[in-house]
Chains A and B, each alone.
Chain A
Amino acid sequence: MKTLAPERQLDFASIRKDFPIFTQMAHGKPLIYLDSTATTQKPFQVIEALEHYYRTYNANIHRGVYAIAEEATARYEEVRGKVARVLNARSPNEIVFTRGTTESVNLVSNAWGRKNVSKGDVILLTEMEHHSNLVPWQILAAEKGATLRFIPFDGRGKLDLSGLDALLEGPVRIVSLTHMSNVFGTVNPVAEIARRAHARGALVFVDAAQSLPHIGVDVRALDCDFLGFSAHKMLGPTGTGALYGKREHLEAMPPFFGGGEMIREVKLEGSTWNDIPWKFEAGTMNIADTIAFGVALDYVERIGFEAIAEHSRELVSETMRLLGEIPGVTIYGPSPAERGGIVPFTLDDIHAHDVATVLDHEGVAVRAGHHCAMPLHRKLGVAATTRASFYVYNVPSDIAVLAEGVRKAKKLFSK
């Protein structure tokens, strides 16, 4: 395995000091957090930004003409510009703030889907989707009489594109897929799939909940029509995130939620809509969390997506090496080069909850279960897996503690 250069090791070890939660102990041991795929920890800069907003310029946005309202509006809209730049969107107007990835999918499946999908149409997904990129399409398909198709994954947790041409045949309206699997960590060839989907006239929605934090995304390079992500999976607060949509699609779509701010003119009989992106931001948005997310984005950008991706690969390699040495451990998914910082595994026939409980007593937080991907686990033939996932505050010594805990679980539960 490639080892970290000493100065880089120092960087990532010092990053941990920015995260107040790591002063906590878990069961009397230092907290080792390996569940960043579920949600990441927050640096003090983000936590302070939240407090700063509430203490000094708490006001509603886009309405008041007084100083703190103008400051709140400016800071909020500044984040839209930052997100547009990070995603390489053409304009901040292509960025709609939402509660996160799930709401972004639902916004498209409702506002775009109900207008553009009709009886007999096809929605193409993959077998490795998170429930958030599956269930909204199931609801739409049931309402419209549309059909769902699925790109299968192979034994290494990679999409099998050999049948893609056939899957794209007929009235396929949209292909919606994850850029990076939240179970396997697999990075999917979204640009290629988008090219082939567009050639058949289908649009493409990308679930970037994992890929944006871990490898960064470029919406123009991917040439996707829509993309959704969550702030809380990249050092930001919960309850905010965004939808990217190509301007022409957002312009043509009806609103999702109705309410204040999304309107141009309201009469008792009917209303006209605000310009994009505000047409989709009804009601008072999550101002504080979105502003704090801007600080999280700054933090992530300072480290850099390439450095984060490389750091993840090193931790994944170390995890696969150390866990691979333990008899009875099965690791799912592709090689470290083909995935982000996620490693799911099983240990003999010991239930993932039991593995996770033993690890918890070692201070190690991992996820145990189906990770909101029941169809994926059904195909693997396992009820649940234990999942270790990493972010910028993890260091190789965390992996050693993980492996020691897994050995302990094996010893405890073997007959």
Chain B
Amino acid sequence: MSLDDFYRQTILDHYQNPRNWGTLENPDISAQDANPLCGDEIRIDLRVKDDRVEAVRFSGKGCSISRAAASMLTEAIEGKTLDEVKQINRDDVLDMLGIELGPVRLKCALLALKTLKVGIYGVQQSWPGEEDEG
């Protein structure tokens, strides 16, 4: 994969202009996590009304892949029911990014999803990479 294919225009766009950036006041759900390997940190806030994601914000620091993945994920879950959000898996995130990732960058890409699931379930069910094995 060439560099231009890897850093596709949409990834750079989401990195430089992250959607739903910031925090919510009194969020119904708020979850934070970090990737100790690269120092990435993320916080995701949700406002939930009638079991639907009414508003979502994320903040933190991270590489282009982790930030773009978080930005795309927040766009994807806006207006969705929590049950629909629970269905989102690792392949959905990789489809949004549209690139192939090695094991290290995979963790960058999945940090937002992992954090979101911890927020919704209350506890981590499994690492997002493991859940669609079966």
Q: Are B3 and A351 neighbours in the complex by a CB distance under 8 Å? A: no
Smallest distance from the beta carbon of A161 to chain B beta carbons, Å? 29
**Residue picked from B3, B6, B12, B39, most chain A C-beta under 10 Å:** B39
Chain B residues, Cβ within 8 Å of A382 = 39
Q: A358-B3, A412-B7, A413-B64 are in contact. Are A352 and B38 (CB under 8 A)?
A: yes
Tell whether A377 is near chain B: CB-to-CB under 8 Å: yes
Q: Are B41 and A351 neighbours in the complex by a CB distance under 8 Å? A: no
Q: Are B62 and A351 neighbours in the complex by a CB distance under 8 Å? A: yes
**Total count of chain B residues near the partner, CB < 8 A:** 21
In the complex, A233 Cα to B3 Cα: how many Å? 30
| Chain A binding surface, main DSSP class | helix
**Residue picked from A357, A374, A382, most chain B C-beta under 10 Å:** A357
Smallest distance from the beta carbon of A29 to chain B beta carbons, Å? 11
Residue from A374, A383, A413, A415 in contact with B40 in the complex, judged by beta carbons closer than 8 Å? A383
Tell whether A353 is near chain B: CB-to-CB under 8 Å: yes
How many A-B pairs have beta carbons closer than 8 Å: the answer is 52
Nearest A residue (CB) for B3 = A361
**Total count of chain A residues near the partner, CB < 8 A:** 18
In the complex, A413 Cα to B16 Cα: how many Å? 8
Q: Are B64 and A369 neighbours in the complex by a CB distance under 8 Å? A: no
Instruction: Please encode chain B, from 37 to 74, with 1 for each CB lying within 8 Å of some chain A CB and 0 for all others.
Output: 11111000000000000000000011111000000000
Residue from B12, B16, B61, B104 in contact with A383 in the complex, judged by beta carbons closer than 8 Å? B61
Interface set of B (CB-CB < 8 Å, partner A): 2-3, 6-7, 12, 15-16, 36-41, 61-65, 104-105, 108
| Besides A361-B6, A383-B39, 13 other A-B contacts (C-beta < 8 A) | A351-B61, A351-B63, A351-B64, A353-B38, A353-B64, A357-B3, A357-B6, A357-B105, A369-B39, A374-B39, A412-B3, A412-B12, A413-B12
